[in-house]
Chains A and B, each alone.
Chain A
Amino acid sequence: MNGVRGHARVWIASRWDSFGLPALISILLVTFSLLSSTFASGFNLLSNLAFSSLVGIGAIGMVFCIMSGDFDISVGSMSALAGVLGASLVGRIGGVGAVLVTVATATVCGFVNGVFVTKLKIPAFITTLGMQYVYRAIAYIYTSNTPVYIKDPFWLFLGSGTVLGIPFPIIITVVCFAAAVYVLRKTSFGRYVVAVGTNKTAAMLSGINVDFIKNMVFVLVGFFVGIATVVTASYLGSVNPGMTGQGYEFQVITVVVLGGTALTGGNGNMLGAFFASLFLTYLQNGLGLKQVNSYWQFVATGLVLIFAVGINRVKSALLGQREA
């Protein structure tokens, strides 16, 4: 492409992955701040930053999974089961133990999904569609469809406490994303995940244990959903077998795709998922503070998603990359 306009487009395209969403978020923050001084208050900005962690943390594992060429729609039900199991054991094993049980349960659920996909060769969509019913049903049966309340001070601190004025969920999010980015970019595991998602056969032929990688990404999905469940349960003060995690899978996948990771697999954008969760949270928050009808907020979210995927396509075309 020639000319100033052409150069400008290529310039933007090459920087979109790193700065596109942050730029959009900045524009969003400035716009809503001008429209509402309540939006711009430190309290509002921080509390929504914490709120974004509920979906953001859960998205980390999903980024790995989608990059490897699969996805997991059982995460909402996983969250319900892990949450009720952990919460119900607080009396017997204490807050710390119960939190660990929650994370462990979700991780095991992820492992089970991974086994179905790798060893039994059942496609991820079918597996996780089926397990979506199974996990939630177990949660219903285990609790007789009654919510489990959390009164343990340790657990409640994880979602509502602050350290030096910073809500604790933000600290958890930062640590999780930092670890995830490190694993993805600085370890061979991360490279193998990208390889498997880009071309499974080529990866296998080059000696990568594809089954192990695929199984591990599902384990990661479960692990991070477990952490997100702990924070959510703390935020709400209870876990409800019917309500916890309803629609969670769609929120998580939206955030992953909006962040720049293509559903077709291959390289993705881990930090993008973080920014996407911020963007959607502040968008919903800003519109809500201006008393915009909630249904228009859904319209906004849908349009943003389409816009983001569209931008990714244009960017790939401009840079001559493989169609994502």
Chain B
Amino acid sequence: MSGVRVLVGTKKGAFVLTSDGARKNWKVSGPHFAGWEIYHLKGSPADPNRLYASQTSGWFGQVMQRSNDGGATWEAVGNKFAYDGETGTHQWYDGTPHPWEFKRVWHVEPSLGDPDTVYAGVEDAALFKSTDGGQNWQELKGLRTHGSGSQWAPGAGGMGLHTILLDPTNPQRMYIAISSAGAFRTDDNGATWKPINRGLKSQYIPNPEAEVGHCVHRIAMHPSRPNILFMQKHWDVLRTDDSGEQWREISGNLPTDFGFVIDVHAHEPETIYVVPIKSDSEHFPLDGQLRVYRSRSGGEEWEPLTKGLPQQDCYVNVLRDAMAVDTLDSCGVYFGTTGGHVFVSPDGGDTWSAIVSTLPPVLSVEVQSLP
């Protein structure tokens, strides 16, 4: 019988949750790297036993970890992330130029075909690549040195590159997103980059329709249609049907279109999920009710999913990297909260249950579907 392995990064370590295809009974392993912030961990599509994890600490800096046995054991690999060439400056909170400074790895993205190739999105925003299993990291500096780089500015949480989407049909193309610079696309394997923010409107920047400066929280893609992307921005949920050339808002009847996560059903490319958060001032669900919203029409029309989720006194947040879907026949949807829950729906969002509910604040959730 098939099964799943859920990889959970938290403020105080990593946890690995495993179950069979029924996704009812779970085994919890961890904490791995106890006491460290695990921003993100993810498995290689080419070798499910190869995992990468970003382990960080305000005291000790960045450590990168690799597992070759599905998370049972780990080994530290290279942690040197040096910007390539002249560092340059971006905009600081007060508008003054500020030198790029490496702080941490927000997101790891293993390549689709080679377990030893992996990308890392870092703060201050840049994209790094390793082709030797994480031992050595080289910056793809065409992104940071894009002409707009000096205008990028950090959001309240820092200037992190948090989303990396690899086009399964075109190895030369990938998408990334940065808070708060916006979304970018490369069509030449990372050598050069193009801002893809046309159609975004952000009232909190001087020019609401500027080429860069938008606080994109997350982008999602269905692998069968890599030209269609869905975005949860600071405010607004959007989609593009032409690889980011033009976006349009699809917030529709959402009760609030602020939020962090967005994801796509594994078998239904027009079925998408968000978790509405009250506002940028109050990072918790409306009315203390934790509700996932699902659209089965690619946006605009949304339905609340509540069965099994706390519907009173719930004041948690769901962070940008904390939602994932599995690829079992009945698509499973997962998300983690800053209150330490990891919820699963084994039926595409109809019903939910908590796998765990007392973990440290959850920073990221990924899932692997195992044979």
State whether these chains interact.
Answer: no
